[in-house]
Amino acid sequence: MRAALRFVEACAGLEAEGAPDEPGPAPVAHIRVTLYGSLAWTATGHATDKAVILGLCGEHPETVRPDQTDAMVAHVRAEGCLPARDGAAPIRFQPEMDIILDKETQPPKHPNTLQFEAFDQTGALLLKARFCSVGGGFITSEEAAESSSYALPDVPHDFRSGADLLALTQKTGLSIAQLVFENESALRHAAEVRAHLDHIVHVMMHCIERGVAQAGILPGKLHVQRRAHALYARLKDKDRRNSSLPHEIMDWVSLFAIAVNEENAAGGRVVTAPTNGAAGVVPAVLRYYRDYCPGASVEGMRDFLLTASAMGSLFKLNASISGAEVGCQGEVGVASSMAAAGLAAVLGATPAQVENAAEIAMEHHLGMTCDPVAGLVQIPCIERNAFGAIKAINAASLALCGDGEHRVSLDQVVQTMAETGRDMNHRYKETSLGGLAMNFPEC
């Protein structure tokens, strides 16, 4: 959606550069999109085609109305053109013909590559752009798709590794959350940082609540029944009868994660944490902290997210958060590592214990494949988020039982994850060509 929006805005720029005083049709008359690699193989199941249409319609992930998206997409399909913008003529776009799924061409930089082309009325090419979707809603030009080329902002506490991060905490006496907060506050006002953190918490909690409230069948040919609504009713009934066993608190954590990922599967609004497919892990563990941990506070929830973001940034910078690049270890594995670090931090862990929690959680996701059945982010993705959340809580607990000393460092695990992803057969990296996607009957 972001890539399509960026391209259509560039097309609007072409029109602005034209001859505004001369009446006539807009220079851009037709747009064509080509999806390569993993995006082509899972286009319908991941709703990539739908996202492209919405982006070309001018929609943005943060502001699009999920309850209106189906009608918007249906309108474009029926009309065969994009909505007219600012008085310009409609642009021809027929999704069945103009979204091309190229499953043969190997994209040179990243397996998630999109190409956009704009033509005038004669069919002459006016503009062409290629973007790579590198995970978590981040897009970059094809030329800058490799992690080593990311441009990082100047911040007071620059860190590129877990070792750097721990050294900074020792040098400054600040917690990981405080370091990240000072970095963010160097880029925008501190009040904005706090407000944005609170907004993220609100969206995460609202997503859980909406997921719990919804019943019915998820979109797609698997006809998966939503589970969160019925699971919530059963758990509430056990609470009323005071018949729950101590370990069944984990059922609530599973419920929170499942609710979020059912919303994701249904096209609802989620927070990429670090990706959509892994969006349930961090909210579930954050909700566990809020609802079940004595002393939980708004400030604690902010520190949770700040700490988690530090871990996510290390994986993004030094490995990947893209299932198409490294499998699900880069999605649910990273999410579990982030959540473990965040929870450990707000439960009083030292920076060394926080790093240990992140390391434990990822170590036991190494090698996890991404093999969504029928290309849908449903089986095994929804349930897998529940297990990622449980592992995160366990990892935080184990780290808190120790003193922060451990044999395998987070940096070594990040490096191992990257190497494992490179070695993994492409069929197990979000193509739906291997694993459960091949061995589970779709009908």
- 69-81, pLDDT tens digit by residue? 999 999 999 999 9
Q: Are residues 398 and 419 both part of a single domain? A: yes
Rounded CA gap, 357 and 361, in Å? 6
Cβ burial of 58 (10 Å; 0-12, 13-18, 19+) is middle
19 pLDDT higher than 70: no
| Residue at a domain's end among 148, 182, 198 | 148
Q: Looking at the structure, do residues 143 and 163 belong to the same domain, yes or no?
A: no
Show the DSSP H helices in 244-350 as ranges. 249-265, 281-292, 298-318, 323-326, 332-346
Read off the CATH number of the domain in which 184 is found: 1.10.4100
CA distances to 108, 309, 313 from 150, rounded to whole Å, are 17, 17, 12
Q: Are residues 76 and 164 in the same domain?
A: no
Say if residue 197 is in the same domain as residue 328: yes
Q: Which two structure tokens, joined as six digits, stand for 200?
A: 């993220």
Domain co-membership, 121 together with 192 = no
Rounded mean pLDDT, 316-322: 94
Strand, coil or helix: 370: strand
Looking up tokens 């695990």 gives 413
Domain hosting residue 43, numbered range: 2-148
Q: 169 and 103, same structural domain?
A: no
Number of domain units in the chain = 2
Q: What is the pLDDT of residue 148?
A: 46
| Alpha-carbon dihedral 6, 7, 12, 17, rounded to 10 degrees | 110
Highest mean pLDDT among 132-136, 175-179, 438-442: 175-179
Lowest mean pLDDT, pick from 23-27, 170-174, 232-236, 350-354: 23-27
In this prediction, residue 211 has a pLDDT band, given cuts at 50, 70 and 90, of very high
Q: Give the domain CATH number at 73.
A: 3.30.1330.90
Cα–Cα distance between 330 and 274 in angstroms, integer? 9
Same domain, 119 and 209: no
Rounded to an integer, the average pLDDT of 141-165 is 82
What per-residue confidence (pLDDT) applies to 392? 98
179 with 89, same domain: the answer is no
Question: 329 and 321 in contact (C-beta within 8 Å)?
Answer: no
307 shares its domain with 409: yes
pLDDT at residue 169 tops 60: yes
> Do 168 and 191 lie in a common domain?
yes
Angstrom CA distances, 222 to 203, 374, 408, stand at: 28, 8, 41
Same domain? For 251 and 107 the reply is no
Confidence band for 101, pLDDT divided at 50, 70 and 90:
very high
Question: Could you give the angle at the alpha carbon of 7 between the alpha carbons of 319 and 35, nearest 5°?
Answer: 60
Q: What b/e string do you get for 302-315 counting C-beta neighbours within 10 Å, with b at 16 or more?
A: bbbbbbbbbbbbbb
pLDDT reading at 383 higher than 90: yes
Instruction: Give the domain-ending residue among 100, 131, 148.
Output: 148
Write the pLDDT tens digit of every residue in 109-150.
888 899 999 999 999 999 999 999 888 888 888 877 654 456
Same domain membership, residue 197 and residue 89: no
**Final residue of a structural domain among 122, 148, 174:** 148
